[in-house]
Amino acid sequence: MKTNSLFLWSALSLLLAFSLIGVSQSGPSAPQILELATTTSTVDSGLLNALHPPFELQFNAQVKVIALGTGAALRAGENGDVDVVLVHARASEDAFIQAGFGINRRDVMFNDFIIVGPPADPAGTRGLASAAEAFAKIAQSQSTFISRGDNSGTHQKELAIWEQAGVQPQGHWYLSIGSGMGEALVQSGQQGAYTLSDRGTYLALRENLALDVLLEGPVKGGDALLFNPYGAIAVNPARYPSRNYALAMAYIGYLTSPQAQRLIEEFQVQGEALFFPDALSQGPNFEQYVPSSTQDF
């Protein structure tokens, strides 16, 4: 029973944190610092600005956010440089835990990836059902494609799609920029290029982008390959005892609590949800987030 177990887990995390954090009888103490390594999409979208204030107030804490690609965020955890990670590349997350660097992973939310590009769509990708087919058309037409090239969750997904398409991307049309999602979208808009984006960051920035959604992910009935789950993982205190494990677990308990899940569900930009809560459900229910209209954004 996912809901009951997560409720108990969150409650246990909060009790653990309160027992260690305590409340000073002589007045408020200086806030504790929680160091979080997270993917750029949670920052570029503005989600963390909505999520963190209640946590910081409740636990007299300050969350120090280090925005990186998922690969770099997990390396920060491997090096013991942070207390907790919030990322979106499940295979890499599982490897991180199996190697003993992280413990207590919890589902937090999901959205999906989308393929965006110039409205004229010179590669002819609009409306295709398969991301691999769209990538193959981009390569065949040698239309400019911007890759994050940063081992992020988005970059890892992009490479998986190229592999499924049977394409080794290279040449003048394929530009690897080694940067975050926001910068990849900005450069794609400026150069009339295609890119793979998480839905949340695109929606947060789309007003200033000359880019259309050309292929949908599963949130709007598109390719299931583009599903994009996010998870939180505490850095293993047995390996790094100096990390603030109690506060990390309080943070994970908060993210998976009804309060934070409601904030995730209510977070919107121009009437569009950017992320969908996944901690208190039996799994993603895409249908409830699909508008009755099938019109494009």
167, 195: one domain: yes
Q: What is the pLDDT of residue 168?
A: 97
Mean pLDDT of 79-103: 96
Predicted pLDDT of residue 24: 40
Q: Position 131: which residue type?
A: A
244 and 221 assigned to the same domain: no
Report the C-alpha gap between 74 and 82 in whole angstroms.
Answer: 9
pLDDT at 221 over 70: yes
**290: pLDDT strictly greater than 60:** no
pLDDT above 60: residue 10 = no
Asked if residue 289 is part of any domain, the answer here is no
Asked whether residue 293 is assigned to any structural domain, the reply reads no
CATH code (residue 238): 3.40.190.10
End-to-end CA distance of the chain: 36
Q: For 175-202, what is the mean pLDDT?
A: 95
Q: Taking all residues of the chain, what is their mean pLDDT, rounded to a whole number? A: 88
Residue 29: predicted pLDDT: 86
What pLDDT sits at residue 270?
A: 81
Exposure string over 268-292, b if 16+ CB within 10 A, otherwise e: ebeeebbbbbbbbbeebebeebeee
User: Are 65 and 129 in the same domain?
Assistant: no
Same domain, residue pair 10 and 74: yes
Q: For position 71, what pLDDT does the model report?
A: 92
Contacts of 225 (CB under 8 A, 6+ apart): 131, 132, 160, 161, 164
pTM across the whole model: 0.81
Residue 132 pLDDT class (50, 70, 90 cuts): very high
33-54 pLDDT, tens digit per residue, is 999 999 988 998 899 999 999 9
Judge whether 35 lies within some domain: yes
- 129 token code pair: 């059902």
Residue ending a domain, among 174, 200, 225, is 225
Considering the domain architecture, whether residues 41 and 106 belong to the same structural domain is answered as: yes
Question: Which pLDDT band, with edges at 50, 70 and 90, does 269 fall under?
Answer: confident
- Strands 145-147 and 174-176: what pairing? parallel
Q: Do 9 and 94 share a domain, yes or no?
A: yes
Unique residue bearing structure tokens 């290029």: 193
- Both 142 and 67 in a single domain? no
Do 159 and 250 have their domain in common? Answer: no
| Predicted pLDDT at 27 | 52
User: What residue numbers bound the domain in which 127 lies?
Assistant: 112-225
User: How many domains, the chain?
Assistant: 2
Is pLDDT larger for residue 296 or for residue 247? Answer: 247
Q: Do 44 and 94 belong together in one domain?
A: yes
- Output the pLDDT for position 272: 87
Q: Pick from 208, 225, 242: which residue ends a domain?
A: 225
Same domain, 29 and 6: yes
Give the helix/strand (H/E) hosting 136: helix 131-141
Is 134 part of a structural domain of the chain?
A: yes
CA distances from 265 to 155, 271, 275, 282 (A): 26, 12, 7, 16
End residue of a domain, out of 225, 257, 276: 225
Both 121 and 84 in one domain: the answer is no
**Same domain assignment for residues 98 and 137:** no
Distance CA 58, CA 137 (A): 51
The pLDDT of 212-233, averaged and rounded, is 95
Look at residue 145 and tell me whether its pLDDT is greater than 80. yes
**How confident is the model at residue 283, as a pLDDT?**
56
Q: Is the pLDDT of residue 291 over 50?
A: no
pLDDT of the residue at 44: 87
Neighbour-count burial of 109, counting CB atoms closer than 10 A to its CB (0-12 exposed, 13-18 middle, 19+ buried): buried
Tally DSSP H helices, then E strands, for the chain. Answer: 11, 12
CA distance 20 to 14: 10
Collect all residues with Cβ–Cβ distance below 8 Å to 146 and sequence separation of at least 6: 175, 177, 184, 187, 188, 191, 193, 194, 195
Using the predicted structure, report yes or no on whether residue 277 has a pLDDT greater than 70.
Answer: yes
Among 32-36, 151-155, 223-227, where is mean pLDDT lowest? 151-155
94 contacts: CB under 8 Å, gap ≥ 6: none
pLDDT band at residue 293, thresholds of 50, 70 and 90? very low
Instruction: Name the phi and psi angles at 58, rounded to 5.
Output: -65, -35
CA distance 270 to 158: 27
